[in-house]
Structure 1
Amino acid sequence: MEYELLGWPEDGPTLRLDHEQFAYAGKFVMSSTGKAVCRDESVIGAAAFDPDRTDPGTLCIRYVTVRTDRQGAGIGAQLLAFVRERAIDRGFDRVTIGVNNPFSYQAAYRAGFCFTGTEQGLGELELEWPGDRCVDGYQAGLDLFRERDLSEAEVAFLSEKAGSDPPELVDR
């Protein structure tokens, strides 16, 4: 697999994704965000990001999507780590992402992000890098998901993670 930065927001990159294979596919057509992808023979994951409107030292990852047939293979976590590394190289000292499900939460933790204790938008938990990878913070985010109406897979996942340490970081 290969990770590639398609461009920063000022470069105006766009990306067409199949809406049947990728969540948020329509968000990647916009040219107002930077884009990064993971590909093998074709795109299998994508991220869109831009600087925080109120803090120029913070990069916000707005959307991450992995092709449905490749979910669960660690691609999202590796793509998040890739974007985080590019942000640091570009001079950002903080990177944030809002996640709305426990699988994305876990992927963000594997990429080095940590729960801030804040909920934002439509039920998104805010995670940041750098952050405190303590067990209590990790479990606090999982507990918020446990209060929601979830799929059987999400309930099983959360049950499996009860009391556990944050996951190990992905190797990039």
Structure 2
Amino acid sequence: MEYDLLGWPPDGPKLRLDYQRFSYAGKFVMSNTGKAVARDDAETERTRGESDAPIVAAVAFNEDRTDAGTLWLRYVTVDRERRGDGIAPSLLRFVRDRALERGYDRLRIAVNNPFAYEALYRSGFEYTGETTGIAELVLEHPAAGEGEYDAAKRYQAGLEEFRDRDLSAEEEAFLEARRGSDPPDPESHDT
């Protein structure tokens, strides 16, 4: 997999993604967000031999309006055919590392499903205990562990937020498999 930072906010490039393959495709044509992508270089060599590998995942981000030291990851999308391959956590780690190198103190993201929640944990983010006005859970890096901090309890608290929702059978099974477990190790690159 090849990872590429295409630009930082507010002058990020427009990115046209196939709306049938990528969720939130329309959000990537906005030019005021930074963007990064994951490309499948092996797929290109095998099928087309082109120099530009096909995009299999993308993330859009912008600075917090009130805190220039905070970068918000706004949209993360993975090609429908490649979901579950561990691409999102790797791309998120790539963006996280570039943002920290650039001088951002904190990265935040709001997620609306347990699969995204898990991908963010695999990228070194943790649930803050906050939700947005549209019931998304807010995660951040670095973790804001303070006082009687218990990482497993915080991880489970976020999963519990999802359990109280109307879920697909796949989401219910995913959550049940994680009941009582510790958070995934962000240093592990397993899917």
Q: By the TM > 0.5 criterion, same fold?
A: yes
Deviation at 1:54, TM superposition (A): 1.2
- C-alpha RMSD of the superposition: 1.3
Map Cα deviations across residues 67-113 of structure 1 (whole Å, 9 max, x no partner). 00000011111111111111101100100011000000000000000
Q: Structure 1's 121 and 75: CA in aligned 2 closer, same or farther, altered over 3 A?
A: farther
Question: Does 1:135 find its partner at 2:147?
Answer: no
Q: Which residue of 2 aligns with 1:156?
A: 173
Q: Mark the runs of 5 or more structure 1 residues left unpaired by the alignment.
A: none
Deviation at 1:159, TM superposition (A): 0.3
Q: Which residue of 2 aligns with 1:94?
A: 106
Deviation at 1:32, TM superposition (A): 0.7
Q: Which residue of 1 aligns with 2:34?
A: 34
Deviation at 1:123, TM superposition (A): 1.6
Q: Secondary structure at the match of 1:115?
A: strand
* Pairs within 5 Å for 1:1-172: 1-40=1-40, 41-131=53-143, 132=145, 134-169=151-186, 170-171=188-189
Tell me the distance in 2 between the aligned counterparts of 1:90 and 1:67: 28
Q: Secondary structure at the match of 2:10?
A: helix
Equivalent residue pairs, number: 172
Q: Is the 8 A contact 2:10 2:62 kept in 1?
A: no
TM-score by length of 1: 0.97
Deviation at 1:9, TM superposition (A): 1.4
Tell me the distance in 1 between the aligned counterparts of 2:104 and 2:61: 12
Tell me the distance in 2 between the aligned counterparts of 1:45 and 1:123: 24
Computing the radius of gyration over CA atoms, which structure comes out larger, 1 or 2? 2
Q: Is the 8 A contact 2:6 2:12 kept in 1?
A: no
TM-score by length of 2: 0.87
Q: Structure 1's 15 and 130: CA in aligned 2 closer, same or farther, altered over 3 A?
A: same
Q: Mark the runs of 5 or more structure 2 residues left unpaired by the alignment.
A: 41-52
